Chain A
Amino acid sequence: MQFEISRETLIKPLQLVTGVVERRQTLPVLSNVLLVLEGSQLSMTGTDLEVELIGRVQIENGSQSGEVTVPARKLMDICKSLPDSASLKMELEDNKLVIRSGRSRFTLSTLPPSDFPSAEESSEALEFSISQERLKEMLDSTSFAMAQQDVRYYLNGLLFEVSPNFLRVVATDGHRLAMDTEDMSTTAEQTMQVIVPRKGILELARLLGEGEDDVDIVIGANHVRAKTANFTFTSKLVDGKFPDYDRVLPKGGDKKIVADRNELRQSLSRTAILSNEKFRGIRLTLLDDEIKILANNPEQEEAEEIVAVEYKGDSLEIGFNVSYLVDVLTVLDTDTVQIVVSDPNSSALIQGADGSSALYVVMPMRL
């Protein structure tokens, strides 16, 4: 194997691929990246057995096909530390990968490509396409609500629900829930649900570009695959059943507040400073056309903010974990938000006021 590639071309896909590779590996080959050169296409693969990422770039100069695995992080560090304009000549010599650039030379150890595990293709697959930008938006607006290392392992991921006429993603950690829906026609004959693990979601979100280009999603029995011109991403699915999210979507809350998103977010963030550091509880009091936000901590310090909102109705006092509210107000991008509550023990429904597709459910805190 022999080829030349500019640092600029190599670095971005290499960075993404290396991101999948875990630092600590029991199996040495898993800390390696698989390089495969076929004609003018170089593909790089990183895996942690749960998530696999293949990045592809085109090679211009004098190539000789072949394949090899080399330590991912070292290759990446070398690439990063070379000057921006550098060009790298790579050549396999006696089971070592020799990298030459200007007056630098690096010789990297290799492991046989046959040892490198690859995700199998799923049978019985369901396919659909969606713009990269929209999918990224859906992930960004919901993934923060995924659980982390919860024993309810099926919460440590994002639910993809594909029905004949929409794609929906849902995340919950048991205290709050985030959901986004895109109307589209799919080939699904009936609604199907899969859970993509947390790590897969975070990696996928990093990969997706800004453009209108589509990403093809293939959902198999055990894997989900996302494919664009430049990469193929595969993640195992979480084997479990996601809770019935529809059950917790509040229906019939009667107290509707419309607020300036940014103003409310900033007031909450300020009040949070003097909330109990551990529990993060704050007290909201709904009054005519204003909300009073009150926080205090064990040191008896207190913060109070009054925010003008649109609200007509009974006064109500309700507690929340302020971080949950701030998280939602941060991922929303509308100017105004709508919050619907009913009583101090029932969940709040938060949405962008101009009918944006994402919706959020936050359970109150008893204070």
Chain B
Amino acid sequence: MNRKIIHCDCDCFFAAIEIRDDPALEGLPVAVGGDPGKRGVIATCNYEARKYGVHSAMASASARRLCPDLIIIPPSKNKYGEASRQMHSIFKDYTSLVEPLSLDEAFLDVSNSKKCKGSATLIAAEIRQRVREEMQITLSAGIAPNKFLAKVASDWNKPDGQFVITPDKVSDFIASLNVRKIYGVGKVTATKMYNLGIENCQDLQVYSQAELLNLFGSFGERLYSLCRGIDDRPVVTEHPRKSISVELTYNNDLPSLKHCIAELPVLLDKLEQRIHRSNRQVSIGKLFVKLKFTDFISTTVEQVNQELNLHVFEQLCQTGYERRNKPVRLLGLGIRLREALNFYQLPLDFDDHVATSKVYLT
């Protein structure tokens, strides 16, 4: 049976919410992101800003150079989280199979939904209308028989639009689809494909599975399906979480190991809070420390440990620091979760004089 998948994607979500809450910003180039003077980056920007070449993940300082009038608003995460919850509750009115990808993006499997006479196209239209009316922001939607095509489709009539790929149109649609639209095909793979004369999915379909494996490694197998518009991945409502971490980019590089070590207690505190907030049974498998040096090279050091322990983090930080011995711009602490949650070796309860070695088990 053909599935009906909707990919919902808000149009410049953070910026849209800021503009909604301050109508004076309407029509001006607006971005949400970090302070340009403090190495901030752009999280989202509206279409006015995009005209200047501003895009997300760009350094705020570069964005300001491209668009001197750019209004950069510091992110207010609580507000976005609230909007996201509101949007998800709308989704939930249509199906329980919602797979959130981020705050403003989700897959919905409406194959068995009875709403709107079972029409996915009408469901998408109704969701978009409700989001517009109830939240005063716009959402684009893609409707297709699978996740891959739905995601491509949501981008087709963006912003504030929707696009349907019905099962009988899949082969026509996919044939002319540019390979860059396949996720997983980035700059490097695309260049490789262009050099082989492959531009769209039709060109890819000529290759056998074995040839694709040879050319693109393990990704070849997936490419073979995707270029035929085939994607069997189900909509999963919850991804098993593999790690929990916190990180911080410093306004000024931390010049020495001593300075890095001094920052760890604050980060550990944040990590503890985040673990508590995750509201789940946490069984720690490993602790890790991430360092990004002044030359933007990152390194991660980890160790098997079942408890949060400042001393371990200090050791890991030292190991990582000594790999480059350079000033550090970013520090992160995290835990990798253990897969088998049902085994946990309890520790002897020494009054540990070294550090907090609290155990989180609820």
Cross-chain contact B345 with A244 (CB below 8 angstroms): no
Quick check: is A365 within 8 A (CB to CB) of the other chain? yes
Given A151-B311, A152-B311, A152-B354: A174 in contact with B342 (beta carbons within 8 A): no
Give B361's nearest chain A residue, CB to CB. A366
A321 to B346, CA, bound (A): 10
- A:225-260 near B, CB below 8 Å: 241, 243-245, 247-248
Pairwise interchain contact A175-B340, C-beta atoms closer than 8 A: no
Closest-CB distance, A163 to chain B (whole angstroms): 20
Residues B315 and A151 in contact, CB atoms below 8 Å apart: yes
Interface centre among A172, A276, A279, by most B CB within 10 Å?
A: A279
CA distance A278 to B340 in the complex (A): 10
A174-B346 in contact (CB<8A): no
Task: Report whether B344 and A365 are in contact in the complex, using a CB–CB cutoff of 8 Å.
Answer: yes
In the bound complex, residues from chain A placing their C-beta under 8 Å from that of B309 are 151
Chain B positions 54 through 75: 1 when the CB is less than 8 Å from some CB of chain A, otherwise 0: 0000000000000000000000
Shortest beta-carbon distance from B341 to chain A in Å: 10
Q: Return B138 CB to nearest CB of chain A, in Å.
A: 48
Q: Is the CB of A347 within 8 A of B311?
A: no
B343 close to A244 (CB less than 8 A): no
User: In the complex the two chains form, what is the Cα distance from A364 to B344 in whole Å?
Assistant: 9
Please tell me if the beta carbons of A367 and B342 are within 8 angstroms of each other in the complex.
yes
Query: A139 at interface (Cβ–Cβ under 8 A)?
Result: no
Q: Determine the distance from Cα of A281 to Cα of B342 in the docked complex, in whole angstroms.
A: 10
Task: Decide yes or no whether B266 CB sits under 8 A from chain A.
Answer: no
Whether A365 touches B346, Cβ cut-off 8 Å, given contacts A151-B303, A151-B311, A151-B312, is yes
- CB B206 to nearest CB in A, in angstroms, measures 43
Q: Which of B320-362 contact A (CB under 8 A)?
A: 340, 342-354, 361
Report whether B346 and A364 are in contact in the complex, using a CB–CB cutoff of 8 Å.
Answer: yes
CB-contacts of A135-151 with B (<8 A)? 151
Interface digits, B276-295 against A, CB 8 Å rule (1 contact, 0 not)? 00000000000000000000
What 1/0 flags go to A340-367 for Cβ under 8 Å of B?
Answer: 0000010100000000000001011111
CB distance from A175 to the nearest CB of B (A): 6
A244 to B347, CA, bound (A): 14
A271 CB to nearest B CB, Å = 16
Contact partner of B349 (CB less than 8 A), chosen from A247, A321, A367, is: A247
Do the beta carbons of A276 and B346 come within 8 Å of each other? no
- Residue B351 contacts which of A152, A176, A244, A367 (CB distance < 8 angstroms)? A244
Asked whether any CB of chain B lies closer than 8 Å to the CB of A177, the reply is yes
> Which A277-318 residues have a C-beta within 8 angstroms of B?
278-279, 281, 298
- For A152, A276, A367, which residue has the most chain B Cβ atoms within 10 angstroms? A152
Query: A175 CA to B344 CA in the complex, in Å?
Result: 11
Interface residues of B in 22-77 (CB under 8 A from A): none
Contact A175 B347 (CB under 8 A): yes
Let me know if A281 and B350 touch, CB within 8 A. no
Contact A247 B353 (CB under 8 A): no
Report Cα–Cα, A174/B312, bound state, in Å.
14
Determine if B353 and A241 form an interchain contact, defined as CB atoms under 8 angstroms apart.
Answer: yes
* Complex CA distance for A281 and B312, rounded to whole angstroms: 26
Among residues of A, the one whose C-beta sits closest to the C-beta of B353 is A241
Q: Which residues of B contact A364 (CB under 8 A)?
A: 346
**Which residues of B are found within 8 Å of A279, using beta-carbon distances?**
340, 343, 345
Task: Please determine whether B340 and A172 come into contact, CB atoms closer than 8 angstroms.
Answer: no
Q: Is the Cβ of B346 less than 8 Å from the Cβ of A363? A: yes
Kindly list chain B residues whose C-beta atoms are within 8 Å of the C-beta of A175. 345-348
Q: Which of A156-191 contact B (CB under 8 A)?
A: 172, 174-177
Known: A152-B311, A366-B343, A366-B361. A176 touches B303 (CB 8 A): no
Which residue of A174, A245, A367 has the most chain B CB atoms within 10 A of its CB atom?
A174
Closest residue of chain A to B303 (Cβ to Cβ) is: A151
Q: Let me know if B348 and A347 touch, CB within 8 A.
A: yes
Q: Roughly how many angstroms separate A277 CA and B285 CA in the complex, as a whole number?
A: 16
Inter-chain contacts of A174 with B (CB < 8 A): 347-348, 350
Query: Which residue in chain B gives the minimum CB-CB distance to A319?
Result: B343
Q: How far is the CA of A97 from the CA of B114 in the complex (A)?
A: 94
Report whether A366 and B353 are in contact in the complex, using a CB–CB cutoff of 8 Å. Answer: no
CB distance from A339 to the nearest CB of B (A): 17
Known: A151-B312, A151-B315. A366 touches B348 (CB 8 A): no
Q: B312, B340, B345: which contacts A321 (Cβ < 8 A)?
A: B345
Decide: A248 near B343, CB < 8 A? Known: A151-B311, A366-B361.
Answer: no
**B350 near A363 (CB under 8 angstroms)?**
no
Contact across chains for B347 and A365 when beta carbons are under 8 A apart: no
Q: Are A345 and B353 in contact (CB under 8 A)?
A: no
Interface residues of B in 285-318 (CB under 8 A from A): 303, 305, 309, 311-312, 315
Q: Are B344 and A276 in contact (CB under 8 A)?
A: no
- Name B348's contact: one of A151, A278, A298, A361 (CB within 8 Å): A361
By the criterion CB–CB under 8 Å, are A243 and B346 in contact?
no
Interface pairs (17), CB distance under 8 Å: A151-B309, A152-B354, A174-B347, A175-B346, A243-B352, A243-B353, A247-B349, A248-B350, A276-B343, A298-B340, A347-B348, A363-B345, A363-B347, A366-B345, A366-B346, A366-B361, A367-B343
Closest 10 CB pairs of A and B: A243-B350, A279-B343, A366-B344, A248-B348, A363-B346, A365-B345, A151-B312, A151-B315, A281-B343, A174-B347
Contacts A248-B348, A347-B348 known; 20 new A-B pairs at CB < 8 A: A151-B312, A175-B345, A175-B347, A175-B348, A176-B348, A177-B348, A241-B353, A243-B353, A247-B349, A247-B350, A276-B343, A278-B340, A279-B345, A321-B345, A363-B345, A363-B348, A365-B344, A365-B346, A366-B343, A367-B342
